[in-house]
Amino acid sequence: MNNSDLQLSSLPEIASLSVQRVLSVRHWNEHLFSFTITRPASLRFRSGEFVMIGLAVEGRPLLRAYSIASPAWAEELEFLSIKVPDGPLTSQLQAIAPGDPIYLGKKPTGTLVLDTLLPGRRLFLLGTGTGLAPFLSLARDPEVYDRFGQILLTHGVRRVSDLAFRDMLEGALAGDPLVGDQALLQFRYQPTVTREEFPTRGRIGDLARDGRLFAKLAGPAQFCSETDRVMLCGSMAFNRDMANMLREQGFAEGSNAQPGHFAIERAFVD
C-alpha cells in the first residue's frame, strides 16, 4: 500500500463531496503554492466561483473555501493557497503530491461572477495575496472579453515572490488557447509590492487614491461608476477599505440577485 492508498482509505465517503486526484503542485515560495486536481464531469461552475476543498485530518474531513483559479471551460481545476505553519488545513495541504486524493465540494458558488455586475466598459480586478485566484479564472474566460472592452488586473502582495503567475500575466496570457488574441489587446496587469523594492510599490488603496493605479492600468479616462466595474478579493481589511472607497464614489455593490457596479469576496485564510 503506498502513501496515497493510505490517505484514500482514510477519506471517508461524504455525500456532499467527491474524491479527486492531485495532478500537479507548484510552490511559489515558503508561504504560497498552487495545485491542480482532476475535474469531475459533473462539476459545473461559473468563472470566479469558489468551492470547498479538503483532506481528512485525524480521520475527519476538514474543508475550506477555495476560489477556483481555472476558467469554467478548463479540464482541470486549479487553486492557489497560502501555507500557514499551524493552519489546520494548509499545514497538511502544502504537503500534497501528484496522485494524492483530495476532497472537492459538489456545489461551487460565489459573487465574483459576471452575473453580479451591470454592463460596463472597463473591468477592474483588484486582489491581494491569494485573492488573485478568482481573477485568474475570469481573465481566461472569453465571455469576460466579450462583455468588457478592457480587463485590468492589479495584484497587491508583500514580496516579489508572492506574485504568483506573474510571467503568464505579464505576457498578457499569450498562448492561451481561448483568450490569447483578445487578451493581447484588452488585458493589462499591474502588480504592486509593499515590503520589497519593486517598480510599483504601495497598497492598492493608496495607489487608487493618488490616481497612480488607474493612470498606469487604464490611461487618462476618468474612473467612474457609469463605465467602470470592479471586483475585489482580499483580506477583510482590504475588502472593507476598498468597498468604502468605491461607495464614496457612487459605486453600488452587486449580488447574484441584483447586479451592481462592484462585487466582493473574501480571500481564503486558514
Which residue, 102 or 164, is less far from ligand A2P as judged by CB? Answer: 164
Q: What minimum distance in Å lies between the beta carbon of 147 and ligand A2P? A: 27
List residues binding ligand A2P (CB under 6 A). Answer: 128-129, 156-158, 194-195, 203-205, 235, 237-238, 241
Q: What minimum distance in Å lies between the beta carbon of 60 and ligand A2P? A: 28
CA dist., res. 88 & res. 81, Å (int):
13
CA dist., res. 37 & res. 78, Å (int):
7
Which residue, 38 or 200, is less far from ligand A2P as judged by CB? Answer: 200
CA dist., res. 160 & res. 56, Å (int):
33
Contact 256, 115 (CB under 8 A): yes
CA dist., res. 205 & res. 158, Å (int):
14
Which residue, 224 or 237, is less far from ligand A2P as judged by CB? Answer: 237
Q: What minimum distance in Å lies between the beta carbon of 194 and ligand A2P? A: 3
Residue 45 has which C-alpha cell? 461552475
C-alpha dist (Å) from residue 211 to 52, 121, 243: 37, 19, 17
Which DSSP category does 260 fall into? B
CA dist., res. 259 & res. 169, Å (int):
28
Q: Which residues pair with 78 in a beta bridge?
A: 36
Cα of 235 vs its chain's centroid, Å: 12
CA dist., res. 56 & res. 65, Å (int):
15
Which residue, 183 or 204, is less far from ligand A2P as judged by CB? Answer: 204
Q: What minimum distance in Å lies between the beta carbon of 166 and ligand A2P? A: 14
DSSP track, 72-93: TT-SEEEEEEE--TT-TTHHHH
Which residue, 63 or 132, is less far from ligand A2P as judged by CB? Answer: 132
Which residue, 203 or 247, is less far from ligand A2P as judged by CB? Answer: 203
Q: What minimum distance in Å lies between the beta carbon of 154 and ligand A2P? A: 10
Q: What minimum distance in Å lies between the beta carbon of 28 and ligand A2P? A: 13
Which residue, 163 or 183, is less far from ligand A2P as judged by CB? Answer: 163
Q: What minimum distance in Å lies between the beta carbon of 104 and ligand A2P? A: 25
